[in-house]
Amino acid sequence: MQYYFLALPLVILCPKSDLSIIDRNNPAIANGDLMSVIAQVLDYLATYEVKTSVPHADYPRIGVPLFNVKGAVAGLHHSLERARATTRAQGLFEHQLDGWLSAYLAANTAERRGFVDALGFATPGQLGLLGWLALERLNEQPALTIVAAWAGLAGGDYLLLENAICRGSGPGVMRAIRAASSELADDEAVGLLHAVLRSAPAVNASLAIAGLAANRLDHPDVIDLLFATLPDRDLGMAAAVSLSASRQPEVHARLKGAVSRQHGLVQQRAQMALHISAVERGME
**Of residues 202, 199, 195, 201, the one with CA closest to residue 180:** 195
- pLDDT, one tens digit per residue, over 178-208 is 999 999 999 999 999 999 999 999 999 999 9
Task: Give pLDDT tens digits for 101-143.
Answer: 999 999 999 999 999 999 999 999 999 999 999 999 999 999 9
Give the pLDDT confidence score for residue 210 in this predicted structure: 95
SS (H, E, C) the chain: CCCHHHHHHHHHHCCHHHHHHHCCCCHHHHCCCHHHHHHHHHHHHHCCCCCCEEECCCCCCCEEECCCHHHHHHHHHHHHHHHHHHHHHHHCCCCCHHHHHHHHHHCCHHHHHHHHHHHHHCCHHHHHHHHHHHHHCCCCCHHHHHHHHHHHHHHCCHHHHHHHHHHCCCHHHHHHHHHHHHHCCHHHHHHHHHHHHHHCCHHHHHHHHHHHHHHHCCCHHHHHHHHHHCCCCCCHHHHHHHHHCCCCHHHHHHHHHHHHHCCHHHHHHHHHHHHHHHHHHHHC
Q: Supply the pLDDT for residue 105.
A: 96
Which of 40-49, 64-73, 228-237 holds the top average pLDDT?
228-237
pLDDT band at residue 53 under the 50/70/90 scheme: confident
